[in-house]
Amino acid sequence: MLKIKNYINGELIEPSKKQYIDNYNPATGKVYSFIPDSDESDVELAVAAASAAFHSWSNTPKDERSRIMLKISELIEKNLERLAVAESVDNGKPVSLARMVDIPRAASNFHFYATGILHYAAESHSMEDTAINYTLRSPVGVAGCISPWNLPLYLFTWKIAPAIASGNCVVAKPSEVTPMTAYLLSELCIEAGLPKGVLNIVHGYGHKVGSAITAHPKIPLISFTGGTKTGAEIARVAAPMFKKLSLELGGKNPNIIFADCDFEKMIKTTINSSFANQGQICLCGSRILVERSIYDKFKKEFVASVNKMKVGDPADAASRVGAVVSKPHMEKVLSYIELAKEEGGTVLCGGHQIKLEGEFSEGYYIAPTVIEGLTADCRTNQEEIFGPVVTIMPFDTEEEALKHANSTQYGLASILWTENLTRAHRIANQLHAGIIWINCWLLRDLRTPFGGVKSSGVGREGGFEALNFFTEPKNVCIKIK
């Protein structure tokens, strides 16, 4: 079975202690490869390689950095099928989703920042005939990038691309739950001629490798996507070291549906915003608030559509719902379904593990689940479940909908369905969230600021926001008389 390797100083190498972690295929529940169980000595090697490469890479002309990144983007596209299958096997998501979303977006991430850097400029401020100020923006040095298991290559490249485009070198750690496509990316970086030490990938546990990256004195900046609890731990370690932090954390996103919505379009999109990637996207709308006059109609049609979704082998084109990412995560999601029942919820469909036949009998499958009858302030409606589970509840007024929508510790995304233009702008203006979709979901323009408020994180990714994050501004003032 394949032993994944670290990518350090341009080479694929074993972890220093030659220890490995079992890597499970969630669809079958079986070990199918091994992950380096790296430690701080491997992080030390990676930081040394990144530090040694920094002077040369940060002084490489933008056009050359851009050319190499475009080559990586092309190689991702050329290897789309191989990467999509690898992502699906590693994460449990339908291969159709990996083929349509995850891998094309990884290619776009590299392409977007390979071109974005060519248009990135800084400002100058003139003081009439007295002085001129100009702002220099320079790369920070060695960037630490730590990413999660839900959209493995998509989120891994979303951090790495702006970091290296702006001239930084990177020490990156993908999730130990889904390391495979990061490993395949390192092979593509070698093929693209990315200079050694620019990108270093150290595989392993968060509490060993992730914490060593966070605490390393020669890594002045951390870009993290993952759980709120882990984000708080990273902030606790990084804050007294005055590190620059970008934290993209959890969400508990409301999906507010008014009676005047385009019902057919709303139902179709809400199935997706509820259960795409088995509900394991921080942007999913897991709390569905429906105007009372259409609540019964919505409940009937939504549950009927959910019951039609095929849960099965991620490699089967007909599967809409694959396996959740791991056994512990499956148990966490199932425990929240039990909690919902204890809190007075009624399970309208799903609510249980699905046991498939044959080679999939040990896989981690959960039936897409819809629960009603809960209060807005119960734990099920306040805590991030991050699985194929949504709650639905009626509301009577805009004020009530807004109160429920804004009632959690999170503030990442919100979805809103109404054909009333004034109401759409009025509600969007009052929602506590960083991203709001109106009559759509997951429509993404990479130039837009991406991130949340409250416990959903700190800072923004995307567009020039990311290039600002990965660079330090310096103001130079010259007296001219």
Residues that bind ligand TXE (CB under 6 A): 146-150, 173, 175-176, 206-207, 210-211, 214, 225-227, 230, 233-234, 248-250, 282, 384, 386
Residue 222: CB minimum distance to ligand TXE, A = 8
**Beta carbon nearer to ligand TXE, 176 or 461:** 176
**Beta carbon nearer to ligand TXE, 84 or 155:** 155
Cα–Cα dist 27/87, whole Å: 12
Which residue among 145, 189, 282, 284 is the active-site one?
282
Residue 310: CB minimum distance to ligand TXE, A = 24
Q: What phi and psi values does residue 366 have, to the nearest 5 degrees?
A: -125, 135
**Beta carbon nearer to ligand TXE, 21 or 348:** 21
Check residue 454 and give left, alpha or beta (phi > 0: left; psi -120 to 50: alpha).
Answer: left
Contact 363, 26 (CB under 8 A): yes
Question: Residue 431: exposed, middle, or buried by beta-carbon count in 10 A (0-12, 13-18, 19+)?
Answer: buried
Residue 56: CB minimum distance to ligand TXE, A = 28
* Residue keyed to tokens 């891998």: 103
**Beta carbon nearer to ligand TXE, 148 or 345:** 148
**Beta carbon nearer to ligand TXE, 322 or 394:** 322
* Residue keyed to tokens 């039609």: 308
**Beta carbon nearer to ligand TXE, 38 or 166:** 38
Residue 315's DSSP bridge partners are none
DSSP 8-state code for residue 280: -
Contact 313, 27 (CB under 8 A): yes
**Beta carbon nearer to ligand TXE, 267 or 333:** 333
Residue 439: CB minimum distance to ligand TXE, A = 24
> Three-state SS across 346-394?
EEEECCCEECCCHHHCCCCEECCEEEECCCCCCHHHHCCCCCCEEEEEE
Residue 361: CB minimum distance to ligand TXE, A = 25
Contact 93, 87 (CB under 8 A): yes
Residue 256's DSSP bridge partners are 289, 416
Residue 415: CB minimum distance to ligand TXE, A = 16
Alpha-carbon distances, residue 347 vs 108, 247, 352, 368 (angstroms): 39, 34, 10, 11
**CB atoms closer than 10 angstroms to residue 242:** 8
Residue 423: CB minimum distance to ligand TXE, A = 29
In this structure, the strands spanning 221-225 and 20-25 are unpaired
Which residue among 248, 291, 372, 384 is the active-site one?
248
List CB contacts of 474: < 8 A, sequence separation 6 or more.
Answer: 135, 136, 137, 138
- 282 tagged catalytic: yes
Q: Active-site positions?
A: 248, 282
